[in-house]
Structure 1
Amino acid sequence: MRLRDAPGDRQTWGGSRARVYAWSVAELLFVTNPWQISSRLRVAVLRLFGAQIGPGVTFRPRTRVRFPWKLTIGADTWIGEGVWIHNQDQVKIEHDVVISQESFLTTGSHRHRSDMGLVTRPILIEAGTWVTSRCMILGGVTIGRSSLIEPMTVVQQNVPSNTVLGSDRSAYVTRPRFRQEQE
């Protein structure tokens, strides 16, 4: 299979070429820019390009959003420095969620056999969830309410509410999110 013949690419844009290119410039200047200190400015630019973002959202520097018009973020949510939302499909992050530094959310992949065609599936992160640093959330996943995803975890299937999930666990562990451990 010749990769340049693989189907998909522009079919996921959800906007005109001019809109996509204008967003690329705005993202570089106002969202990804590490010198930009204003979260309000980043949020305003994302909203200008169609992102639905609730009040009280903090958007740290060096973040990336592929298509803001496919992004919904609820109130009082924190998007940490260096987070990359590669949303070729819808990404919905509910209220009071933390997505920590360097985490990567991607809604797209490719068929590995046959024609390498692009496959996209949405992501839903429910209220009260904390995705800690350097996690990867794959398309088609729902992370349930008040869950905790431990550092460097790859999430490739749905996570039930009130669950702690870590890369070193062979199975999900459901327990109260803020428990006191006795040692």
Structure 2
Amino acid sequence: MLSSHDPKNSDAYLRPSFPLLDYLRRYCWNIVWKLFCSWTPNPLHKWRIFILRLFGAKIGKSNFIYPNCKIWAPWLLTTEDVVTIGPYAEVYNPGGVRIGHHAIISQYAYLCGATHDYNSADFTYIKKEIVLEPWVWICAKAVVLPGVNCAEGSVLGAASVTSKNLEAWTLYAGNPAVSVKKRTNFL
């Protein structure tokens, strides 16, 4: 049996999570990336960075952005110098993503910057910023959930999932990710 809903709140079910202008901007972004970047050879990082900057991304020097990665909203992406967003990595960043220098997001990793309030009748959309401090490594197929701060030098191991902040110079693994051991602080 389907549960009834309160007619006073029925408009909440129809309310979009994003304004129309935002949808249009992301639509244009997806077309431009598909036409001008997604098929380019791996070494053309400067070209892809040029396109990302046209759409408002703040990208540092010597970044490596691969053609088959997916960046949801470049205008909400900030990177420092020598950052890598690897093949098939996905940056879902409605709350923004900041990436410190010498950080790496490996292949198929997923930064998920939004969720929903499953306890609300209208399934409220919640977006939070993700921060990767300098020297962070998000390994292959790892997942970083909304609002997480990965402190300097932290490593999230392959296929691990974190919804909690990572401590500096510490290796995490598993689902949910737990501290495994300390990483050598080479600075």
Normalised by the length of structure 1, the TM-score is 0.86
Task: Choose which of 167, 179, 183 in structure 2 pairs with 1:172.
Answer: 179
Match of 2:165, SS state, is coil
Contact 1:7–1:116 (8 Å) recurs in 2: no
Post-superposition shift, 1:177? Answer: 3.7
Structure ID, larger Rg:
2
The Cα offsets for residues 5-27 of structure 1, whole Å up to 9 and x where unpaired, read as: 2645214x8x5554332212112
Q: State the number of aligned residues.
A: 174
Task: Choose which of 26, 31, 36 in structure 1 pairs with 2:40.
Answer: 36
Normalised by the length of structure 2, the TM-score is 0.84
The Cα offsets for residues 58-93 of structure 1, whole Å up to 9 and x where unpaired, read as: 011211111100000110111110011111111000
Contact 1:126–1:146 (8 Å) recurs in 2: yes
Unaligned runs of 5+ in 2: none
Task: Choose which of 14, 17, 24 in structure 2 pairs with 1:9.
Answer: 17
2:133 pairs with 1:129:
no
- Who is 1:148 aligned against? 155
Match of 1:10, SS state, is coil
Q: How does 1:86-101 map to 2 (within 5 A)?
A: 86-101=92-107
Percent of residue pairs bearing the same amino acid type: 25
Match of 1:52, SS state, is coil
Cα distance change of structure 1 residues 169 and 21 upon mapping to structure 2, 3 Å threshold? closer
- Who is 2:65 aligned against? 59
Partners in 1 of 2:15 and 2:149 — Cα distance?
A: 26
Q: How does 1:69-80 map to 2 (within 5 A)?
A: 69-80=75-86
Post-superposition shift, 1:178? Answer: 7.4
Cα distance change of structure 1 residues 6 and 138 upon mapping to structure 2, 3 Å threshold? farther
- Who is 1:47 aligned against? 53
Cα distance change of structure 1 residues 177 and 131 upon mapping to structure 2, 3 Å threshold? farther
- Who is 1:83 aligned against? 89
Letter in 1 for 2:85: I
Cα distance change of structure 1 residues 167 and 8 upon mapping to structure 2, 3 Å threshold? farther
Unaligned runs of 5+ in 1: none
Contact 1:79–1:100 (8 Å) recurs in 2: yes
Letter in 2 for 1:166: A
Cα distance change of structure 1 residues 82 and 27 upon mapping to structure 2, 3 Å threshold? same
Contact 1:6–1:116 (8 Å) recurs in 2: no
Match of 1:28, SS state, is helix
Partners in 1 of 2:159 and 2:14 — Cα distance?
A: 30
Contact 1:7–1:118 (8 Å) recurs in 2: no
Greater relative contact order (Cα < 8 A, sep 6+) = 1
Match of 2:33, SS state, is helix
